[in-house]
């Protein structure tokens, strides 16, 4: 058996933040709804900036759709120098260190480009790309953060839903600011 066969398998985590009524973006793309609204859930936990930084440091690679990429550039680029793959059929120019573009088959992207290089792979949206990954069965874990707000309108989480899929709840974390993080795995183990 080669050392590669002993290596832990790569994992794809889909992470998104949704409103209580299931939207991930406002129509005008404004993001104020993601900020704290001042509510305090006493039984919730809070995490320090150091814990957040350690968590982010453990992410080996981000994958995002081109619309999420363009919005992230406008917002000030939250992904630092962490390797980032943007899925697009267009010829886009990279203005950020660590960004590369992929067009074409997503299974090939995962098997040939990402899995050999990265273990902790984070798919961070948007709705269209996440839906494609889910349809193809390429997601191992869903981390859904629910924000304490109703938006009424906007871009639907996962867009037009894929066929029914059963997921297994693995963890729930309620934060002091009223946000709740739900973690689901595709497998029962």
Sequential DSSP letters for 51-82: HHHHHHHT--EEEEEHHHHHHHHHHT-TTTTS
Selected binder of ligand NAP within 90, 95, 160, 166 (CB under 6 A): 90
Residue 183 interacting with ligand NAP (CB under 6 A): no
- Least distance from ligand NAP to the Cβ atom of residue 2, Å: 32
Which residues in 159-171 are b (16+ Cβ under 10 Å) and which e?
eeeeeeeebeeee
Residues 6+ apart with CB under 8 A from 34: 17, 147
Give me the phi and psi of 59, to 5 degrees please.
Answer: -80, 125
Please, which of residues 152-171 interact with ligand NAP by CB under 6 A? 155
Selected binder of ligand NAP within 35, 57, 80, 89 (CB under 6 A): 89
Residue 108 interacting with ligand NAP (CB under 6 A): no
Nearest to 94 by CA among 78, 123, 112, 70: 70
Which residue's CB is nearer to ligand NAP, number 10 or number 142? 142
Shortest Cβ contact with ligand NAP: which residue?
Answer: 126
Residue 29 interacting with ligand NAP (CB under 6 A): yes
- Least distance from ligand NAP to the Cβ atom of residue 62, Å: 10
Binding residues vs ligand NAP (CB under 6 A): 16-17, 24-25, 29, 64-68, 71, 87-90, 103, 106, 124-129, 132, 155
């Amino acid at each position: 058996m080669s050392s590669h066969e002993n290596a832990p398998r790569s994992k794809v985590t889909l992470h998104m933040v949704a409103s209580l009524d299931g939207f991930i973006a406002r129509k005008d793309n404004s993001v104020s709804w993601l900020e704290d609204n001042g509510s305090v859930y006493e039984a919730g936990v809070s995490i320090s900036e150091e814990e957040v930084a350690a968590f982010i440091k453990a992410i080996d690679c981000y994958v995002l759709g081109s619309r999420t990429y363009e919005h992230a550039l406008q917002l000030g680029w939250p992904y630092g120098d962490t390797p980032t793959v943007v899925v697009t059929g267009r010829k886009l120019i990279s203005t950020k260190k660590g960004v590369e573009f992929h067009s074409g088959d997503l299974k090939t992207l995962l098997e040939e480009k990402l899995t050999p290089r990265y273990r902790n792979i984070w798919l961070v949206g948007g709705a269209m790309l996440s839906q494609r990954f889910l349809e193809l069965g390429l997601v191992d874990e869903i981390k859904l953060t629910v924000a304490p707000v109703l938006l009424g309108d906007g871009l639907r989480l996962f867009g037009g839903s894929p066929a029914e899929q059963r997921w297994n709840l693995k963890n729930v974390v309620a934060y002091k600011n009223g946000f709740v993080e739900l973690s689901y795995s595709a497998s029962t183990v």
